[in-house]
Amino acid sequence: MSKVLLSGLVGGIVLFALSYAILYASISLAPKLIEEYYNPIFWPGSDRAILFFLHPFILSFALAWFWNKFKSSFHQTGWMRGLEMGALYALIATLPSMWITFSAIMVSLTMVLSWFAYGFLQASVCGLINSRLNP
């Protein structure tokens, strides 16, 4: 259990830092995409804003638990195990949630595709961390 906690904590810290790095890179590289976030639907209010910042840790601990249960199912070696986990997560969790988001909320396809890619990246990073800390 300590390996799950360690990889969940390390993953959460790395995802938190990665989210800030991607935010600042996106401002420079994709300003039109970032403009879409000025829509009021993306601000839940200050009383719930902390939940957004806890997301990397929630995701990381969930993926650390998942990894611990199913790590024997990932047959690749090295960093490919992390990508395999990222692809699995993208297909079973991110794709369906992005489908319903795009169909129910007025957001651009570009934004939804960026969220899909980001979900794949997050899960792959957690997969890499888990494969190193909890082989």
Host domain of residue 107: 2-133
pTM: 0.89
For residue 112, the model assigns a pLDDT of 95
Residue 50 has pLDDT above 80, yes or no: yes
Contact residues for 5 (Cβ-Cβ < 8 A; gap 6+):
64
Please state the domain count of the chain.
1
Q: Tell me: the pLDDT tens digits for 63-102?
A: 999 999 999 898 888 889 989 999 999 999 999 999 999 9
